[in-house]
Structure 1
Amino acid sequence: MGEEKSVMVIGIEDNQHSFYALEWTLDHFFTNYNSNSPFKLVILHAKPTPASIIGLAAGPGSVEAFSAIESNLKKIAARVVEKAMEICKAKSVNDVVVEIVEGDARHVLCEAVEKLHASVLVVGCHGYGVIKRTVLGSVSDYCAHHAHCSVMIVKKPKTKT
């Protein structure tokens, strides 16, 4: 019986930084190994809740707004998963699990690490400045401090002009 592979979780969202992190990870840990990569790959998209988008205030029209936002979030999640699978297929990485979990990305990723007993969590880096990172919060920073595994933060190189 073969040895069980370590789990690598990649957190992705609908932006170029996440897809770059996915491509970089595939190039460095999967493509050169064919099917013999030392990792089991789990791609995870944290779909925000409609309430986190519109806030807690309920008023006239909030039911319609809630439904419209939920529909849009589902479309975005489907697009993210489709693009992630296209990237994996283009790099001949077929043994991959893709999950969509509703919630705040910081908590969803850290909980997935626990649940899956992941040995590595990979996240992209937006490259926010200090003020924007402080106001918005940083998923990568949160995970680096709270995930119970190694966290690899993949930063997309700046293009030189």
Structure 2
Amino acid sequence: MKKSYLYLLLTACFLIFILISRSYTAQWTKETHFSTPLEALMNVNGPSLKVLEIIDERIYEGDNYGYIFFYTQLNEPKDYYVVSEFKKETNGWKFVSMFGGGPVEKHEKSYYFYSGGYEDGKQFGLANPEVSYVRRGNREAEIVPLQNNLKIWFIYKPSLEDLEYNLEFYDDKGELIER
């Protein structure tokens, strides 16, 4: 008789454990996956940079990746831009990472600042007002306009072949800007 009570008690404990773990898993999944990348950004847990203003959002549906560019504050409002990355999974969009892009100010060679590569799946940097477009080999970067006519240039999924070429910055007349 004692064995049957012990067996019944262990079975009940096991069932309760299963129910609690399923409930916790469902709650965790619900809290980490969202219907849009923007919703995922606004629900980032842990240390992150405060979103002052969304600059732009780029979605690459075929690859299930999305990027949100936004302003944050280091010293003054909107003095720094950030790129955040999201992945679309079966149950929604999930925050992947956040990259500090850099200060939003004109520099003598600000168009030279960049980050990322083949392994990262993206490459981006800041361009001065005189830069109209950016190329790397046969790839033309996407341009995201910022305040004061500054621009973020962004290359999604550069290939190894793309990375064999130097970044080239062109003015609105199509002339190469010397660095």
Give the alignment's TM-score, normalised by structure 2. 0.27
Give the number of the structure with larger relative contact order, counting CA–CA contacts within 8 Å between residues 6 or more apart: 1
Q: Of Structure 1 and Structure 2, which has the larger fraction of its residues in strand?
A: 2
- Whichever of the two has the greater Rg, that structure is 2
Q: Of Structure 1 and Structure 2, which has the larger fraction of its residues in helix?
A: 1
